Structure 1
């Protein structure tokens, strides 16, 4: 496998917030490579550094030391990120929210309809297309946020606790959609979670503890 087959590489990547006595090390020297088709769960409790590591992988944060590189993709276009918090635009309906990244990327409206419809169908939200965010539940909003990422068909999907606020059945459906979309496109999927049942459905698990990424557990 050549270097360009690796989507993203962390080499001794660390992330510190603040300086001096008040500095907080969110990630300590992480080493990690993500390749097409990978299915990785990063497991750990709240505050263990999972979200910070995901932000490094997405390019949302720059490492304080070490490096993060993307030899196999353009991080501005090839990464889809499912956030933990609410992220829908209140003034746009569900279909418009799902299409938003495609519109911002310059795709004509006529070319957004099919990927938006397919993504909403995949997460079981087709019947919500005309509703505003204030008219749907939190679980439904999270499914729409996942659909918005899937419509982009990214090569790397980063999902930060995507099922954390959902009931078991809805959470399972969201993960089903992420896995199905990744399988269809060959994308890599990285999911942070504190739920062992969610982690067990991905091929590889890495635990985080106090900002440290621990050794790989291959469960294939």
Structure 2
């Protein structure tokens, strides 16, 4: 039986109370199996980013339940196996590419030699190894986003959640980033969920979910 990395059971997320309350996600039930490649498409404000944040445990549902059957029981150990790629790379300006990539591992207390090994491997996976000594201000936006992906991959995640990762990039840079993200998650055998409003991005993934006004409407597996 295929392991389930994350499962949402009748999950809703509401912001505010009373007449001003906004329901960002309505009663959504879905699962992400191990090795899945899922695109959540939809316009801005459709709830796809909120759903991704619920899957990542960055937010708690107002109703329903999110579980991670295929990941460790404790929140601390599970957090290390869920990698989140945001729309902005958010690199630390004073740290070079290698240091930015290894920062979460250093904070987690990973041995220095192991940090160096994982950083080198992750940068190689996303094809920016030659930038290891560069500062963020010395690289392009597309390269910075690939470093952000490497930072996630260095943690050896089993589930990667990417929130509009190509949203701030031009078409060519976005394509290169997606190439790297797909190849790298294949290499580490992680499930991948990508939110996007770009059909060209969605078409690169096997399974298509569509969100509109906070509702998950379709789940289509490409043949």
Structure 1 unaligned blocks of 5 or more: none
Aligned-partner Cα distance in 1 for 2:180–2:141: 17
Structure 1 equivalent of residue 41 of structure 2: 43
Structure 2 unaligned blocks of 5 or more: 73-77
For the 8 Å contact 2:6–2:33, the answer to whether it is kept is yes
Q: Does 1:96 align with 2:94?
A: no
For the 8 Å contact 1:120–1:126, the answer to whether it is kept is yes
Structure 2 equivalent of residue 206 of structure 1: 209
How many residue pairs end up in the alignment? 218
Structure 1 equivalent of residue 63 of structure 2: 65
For the 8 Å contact 2:88–2:165, the answer to whether it is kept is no
For the 8 Å contact 1:123–1:173, the answer to whether it is kept is no
For the 8 Å contact 2:88–2:168, the answer to whether it is kept is no
Aligned-partner Cα distance in 1 for 2:166–2:117: 26
Question: Which of 115, 119, 122 lines up with 1:119 in the alignment?
Answer: 122
Q: CA RMSD in A?
A: 1.3
Shift, 1:137, TM fit? 2.5
Aligned-partner Cα distance in 2 for 1:184–1:24: 40
Structure 1 equivalent of residue 75 of structure 2: none
Shift, 1:130, TM fit? 1.3
Aligned-partner Cα distance in 2 for 1:105–1:180: 26
Shift, 1:191, TM fit? 0.4
Instruction: Give a deviation string over 1:169-188, Cα, whole Å, max 9, x none.
Output: 22122111221122122210
Shift, 1:44, TM fit? 0.6
Shift, 1:76, TM fit? 1.4
Structure 2 equivalent of residue 189 of structure 1: 192
Q: Does 1:143 align with 2:146?
A: yes
Structure 2 equivalent of residue 9 of structure 1: 7
Aligned-partner Cα distance in 2 for 1:114–1:175: 24
- Using structure 1 for the length normalisation, give the TM-score: 0.94
Q: Does 1:159 align with 2:162?
A: yes
Aligned-partner Cα distance in 2 for 1:154–1:55: 16
